[in-house]
Every structure is written in C-alpha cells, then in structure tokens.
Structure 1
Amino acid sequence: MKPVSQMSESARSRSVGIRQVAQKAGVSTATVSRFLNRPEVVSAELAARINAIIDEVGYIPDASARALSSRRTRTIGAIVPTIDNAMFAQGLQALQRTLAAQDYMLLLTTNQYDIDIELKQARNLVSRGIDALILRGDAHHPALRRLLERQDIPFVHVGVYEPEKPYPSIGVDNRAAGRRIARHMIELGHERIAIVAGMQKNNDRAQARLAGMTEMLAERGCSPRPEWLQQVNYKLDEARQAARALLAMPEPPTAVICGNDVIAYGVLLEAEKLGFDVPNQLSVAGFDDLEWSRHLRPSLTTIHMPTDEIWAQAGTYLMQRLSGAPAMMHRELDFSLVVRESTAPPSSA
C-alpha cells in the first residue's frame, strides 16, 4: 500500500467519507445523505454549511451508492438529432442550467434523424440508470415509448405542442408558425414564393412547418411550382445549392422561405454571390431566430422560437414528475414574427 504522501489527489478525495463530512458539519450522516439526495428539503443555511465542508475536504459522493439508497441517479437523458445545429446547442445549454440548479446531471446522445438509432440510444441510456428522458419532436420508433413506460421512466417531447396526444409535449404550434411566415410574404405582395425546407423524414417539426407554409400559399392562390419547393439538410452548402438552382431559373422567385435560419444563411450567401439585391430583388426569411440572424447584413426576417424556455421547461417538467409534484402535461409557448431587413415588397410592385 502506498504511503499517504504518495497517494494521488483523486485517491485521497475518494477516501473521504460521508462520516467525515457529517462530523465537521456537526450534523448526522442521515442529514448529509438527505442533503445529497434531496437538497431542497434542507434549509439554505444548512445546505451552505454542508457544501462548504464538502469543498474543504474534497468529498465526492458515490453515485452508485446514492442510486441504491434513493433509487435515483439524478441523471436525465436527452436524445437530439445532432449537436451541429445551433438551435439544439442553445436549447441544451438552457436545459443544462436548469438541471444543474437542482443538482441533476444531463446525459446526451444523438440519433441523426434515425428512429432505429434513437431506440438503441434510448436503451443505452436506460441501462445507465437515467431517471427521465427528453425526446425531440414526436416522430419515434413504436417500441421506444413502450420501453419507457415499462421501465417507468418519465419522458417529454420538446419542440412540439400536441395536446390531443397522451404523451407530454412542450413547444410551439409549428404549422401555425409556417402559416405566419408565409402570410408575411403574401402581405408584402409576393406571388412567386419558393420554399427551401428542411428534410422531412422523421422530422415532424419540419413537416408541420412546411404544411403550414403550403396551406397558406394555396389559400391565397400562389402555391409554389414543383421546382420551387426544395428540401435540404441543415447545411450551408446544400442551402446554397438549392438557392443556385432557384435563382438560375428563367423566371426566378421573388421570395424564398427557409425551413430554418441556417438554410436562410446559405440562401443569402448564394444570392449575394450571384448578384441579387436582398431584399429589393429577393426577399428571404428563416425560422428559429438564431443569434447571428440579427447581426447579418441584411439582418434576417425570421420566426422567433422560445428555444431556451422550451428546453428549460422540459427539464422542470421532468424534475416535477420525479419529485411527485403536479406537472402540466402539455404546454404551448408562443412564437413570434421578427421582421428585419431581408424582406420587402417585390420590386415590380
């Protein structure tokens, strides 16, 4: 056995037990255990004192032991399509802040918009002892919800609002948002309106947005020609290719509605490269209102999505479920149209 002086810092930290923390804090081990498992049940003064002792002695709670005693790991899983989408990164950051404030940990994985991969990842998360799970949207493998229900694991769908379904959801009405951005273009006087949507497969949010756009355009008698309806992945190069094809047509559209802001960035870049004046020759609108959208020149007209609030409320909902507190199953948040410099009446008007 190594002398204490030769032990690593991490080994010394692990050698510190809950009894030492309790003795130095002047409380029982049961009180320290109660604080570690449910910090909200002790007073703020006592919590601060125990935390100070934990920092002083370098105590690290044994997660497996806590799980055995409380039947909870204080870990919430989340499965998102990808982490290279700025909107997901923003939402996950808000979720992390919400969970950390209550001493919960986030365990994250991705599914690349593949429901079979998502099912496999969900099984992996369950095997690692998650207490609850956040799912993006409502397009999932039929076996996934059965798995979660049989394992008694609370879950919530984020980014969608579907009160008619028996599964919890927190988000916006994406179809209504699609109708709103299309109506904006129509009210400006545009009739030749193209759509560059996100890929529709296993993406119910993109499907609802596109459905809302096409419904509104059809109602106003300006449905897009088949060649004016494009689908791309959320990547700049694919968005630029779609814009190149649209703007090279003998009679190009005077407006382009994009499935999200990243796609709109690609359309703006390609329009500039091809010499189109935005918004005088071409109006462009996006979806989500990402950070860069208001800083572009021209700044981007878009639909603002309350991304931070959606993900934070999803975390709060699951923590309420886990604590036995009342929790609203469905919650609709408001989107809003943000009109900036990238849209204007068509020049012919």
Structure 2
Amino acid sequence: MSSSHESATPDTPAVRTRRNSGRAVLGDVARLAGVSTATVSRVYNEPDRVSPGVRERVLQAATTLNWIPNAAGRALASTRTHIAGAIIPTLDDQVFASQVAGMQAVFASRGITLFLGCSNYDPAQALTQVQAMLARGVEVIAIVGEAHPPELFDALRQTRVPYVITYAYREGSPHHCIGFDNRAAYVEIAEHLIELGHRSFAAVIQPARDNDRVQARVTGIREALARHGIAVRPSHMHEGPATIAFGRESLRAIWQGSDKRPTAIICGNDQLAIGVLLEAAELGIKVPQQLSVTGFDDVAIAQQIHPSLTTVRVDTAEIGRRAAQYLLDVLDGKNNTESGVVQPVLMARESTASVPLSG
C-alpha cells in the first residue's frame, strides 16, 4: 500500500517535507518542471545555455515550491559564486544609481547577483569594501574612477579578479575604463561659453580631493580659458558639497563679494547649477541676460526648471550596461575590443546666451 508521501503530487507540502527538512530540494524542482536536476543547475549557473522556455518552467517551478538555490552549494559545484561587486561614491546622485541599474539588468540576465558598496568619496572606505567583497568571493568588480589607493588595485591583481573603471575615460590609463573624458567635456562647456562672447568666468564645483573626475573637469576649464588668455579669479572658484544649497551659497558670495562680476558660471553638476539659478532669482539676477549658467548630468529637472538648464547629458545607464558586459566577456574568455568611450552630449538650453554688450 502506498503511503501518502508516494501518492503526493510534486507541488504538495508532502513532497516538500520528504527530506524531513520542511523544504523543497533541487530534485523536487526538476520533477515539477519536467527536467533533469542538471538542467535546473544549469538554469542558475549557466542560464544562457538553457532555452527560454525551459528556463521559464524551471523558474516557475522554483517559485511554486518556494525553492532558492544554495549559494555555497552552487559555488562548490561550479567553482563560481555568481556574485559581482560595484563600488560607487554615493547613492544620493542619480547618475550612479542609473549606472548601477544598467549593470544590474545585464548581470541579472546571467543569474549573477550584484553586491553594492558606497565609499562616500573616501578612498579608505573603497579599499575596505573591495577587500570585503573579495573575501566573499566576488568574481568581477566595477569601480567608479581611478583615484584609489594602490593597495586596492594590488588586491585585485593578486586575486586575479577582473575589474573595470567606470564614469571616467582617458587615453593611457593602466585600467580598462568605460566612461567619458571629463576634461574634454568641460573644455567643450567652456568653449561653448567663450563662443557666446563670455570672458569673465566663475566655477562652482565638487571637492577635487580624491576625485579624479572633478580634477579632470577643473583642468578642462582652465585649459580652455587659458587658450583665450582667460583665467578664473581665485575668489570666483568655489569648491564644496554637490548640493543645491552650496550652489546658492556660492552665487551669493560671488555676486556680493566682488565688483568684477562674472558673466558665466560653470558648475560641476546640475544640483549646483540649479542652486545657482534659484539664488539668481532670489537676488534679482536675470539668467541668461546678466548671467549664463551651465550644469552637468542632465537630471530630469534640468529641462523643466525655468530657465531650462544648459548642461551635458551622459548615458550613465549605458556605462553600467557596457561595464557589466565587458566583465561578463572577460569571465567567458572573450576578447572585448569595443571602445570604452560613451560620448557626452552638450544640451544648449535657455540658461546660456551671448554676453550682454554692456558686460
């Protein structure tokens, strides 16, 4: 006489308790999906080797049985952990959240989990987080920017974990970079304003220390202006938090602290530029008639604010997708020769105009 266990259908509680654990096991998922246990493993370890229909059946069976693959068991069976890491400066900035979303989409399609660390622009924190990720067996890592301690890159080389630098690109870098040339982007911004006739400039930027992207942007501004015999006065160069509040504070200090007022202000990001625009309205400064303002990133509000903000658009989600694909190609032994440059685009809007004749 058969027992109730033997007569149970695969998706009944009886099956889930067969191993006396109260949980479904890999074999239960295989039976419910009508595939072998090897196919179930392949769906989670090498999903690209399984047809979409079979993959969907297995995932549906796993959901029905509330079964989750054991990460440690998967790692032992395949010598892989299926974990990727990403270190970003902050989650408060839309551009990095967008990059992470792009990476996540590509990694998830291959059954890879993304671990995320935020360094808060502190190189020591970035090093600690990379070390922690390596200890947990991440297979690949994406890191924003090059300005990190040598120990960080030494650790990656010693463990032979593939990595990629994101949100920055420069010729001659010893690292594989996927991003854009920050210096060239700010040369373009400065040249745009110079073509409009501006000769008196201010800059409101993020802290440059330990931030190679900001350092490159400042270099771009200075190089472009120097070619025309122009320089930013020290009192017109403001460095501080990448916030609306600091943008407002900086414009107030610039406007009230000098008889020689700039006709154009170049900002390190859109948050700072929006702060400048808001404070300009408060002080009765007409933009762009008296003052041209530029930002960077092209956040959603940049086009909606009045006047709409001249800024630079960077497809940060594309940077994330390409970074993840590059790392997957390395894992697969493929030679990815695609250029790492994601081209930024200057979005000329209402906040910039020709310098007034009386300026």
| TM-score, normalised by the number of residues in structure 1 | 0.93
Q: Does 1:263 align with 2:257?
A: no
Q: Which residue of 2 aligns with 1:218?
A: 226
Cα distance in 1 for partners of 2:61, 2:160 equals: 36
Structure 1, residues 190-215: CA drift from partner, whole Å, max 9, x if none? 11111112210111111111101111
2:343 to 326, 334, 340: 334
Aligned to 2:60: 52
1:72 to 66, 71, 80: 80
Q: Measure the CA separation in 2 of the matches of 1:289 and 1:261.
A: 7
In 2, distance between residues paired with 1:27 and 1:303? 51
Preserved CA contact (<8 Å) 1:113 1:201 = no
Q: Structure 1 unaligned runs (5+)?
A: none
> What is residue 320 of structure 2 aligned with on the other side?
311
Q: Is the 8 A contact 2:45 2:111 kept in 1?
A: no
Unmatched 5+ stretches in structure 2: 1-11
Percent of pairs with identical residues: 39
Matches of 2:303 and 2:111, distance apart in 1: 34
Q: Secondary structure at the match of 1:327?
A: coil
The AA in structure 2 aligned to 1:33 is S
* Larger CA deviation: 50-59 vs 294-303: 50-59
The aligned residue for residue 47 of structure 2 is 39
State the match for 1:235 in structure 2: 243
Q: 1:94 aligns with which of 102, 105, 117?
A: 102
2:292 is matched with 283
Question: Following the alignment from structure 1 to structure 2, what is the Cα–Cα distance between the partners of residues 31 and 313?
Answer: 29
Distance 1:35 1:325 in 2: 21
| Rg larger in structure | 2
Q: Distance in 1 between matches of 2:306 and 2:353?
A: 14
Moved more, 276-285 or 123-132: 123-132
Mapped to 2, the partners of 1:322 and 1:292 lie a distance apart of: 39
Greater shift, 25-34 or 35-44, is seen at: 25-34
1:63: which partner in 2? 71
Question: Displacement of 1:178 after TM fit?
Answer: 0.8
How far is 1:13 from its partner? Answer: 9.8
Q: Following superposition, which runs of at least 4 residues in structure 1 exceed 6 angstroms of deviation? A: none
Deviation at 1:136, TM superposition (A): 0.5
Letter in 2 for 1:290: V
For 1:158-177, what aligned pairs fall within 5 Å after superposition? 158-177=166-185
Shift of 1:288: 1.4
Deviation at 1:347, TM superposition (A): 2.1
Distance in 2 separating the partners of 1:166 and 1:68? 33
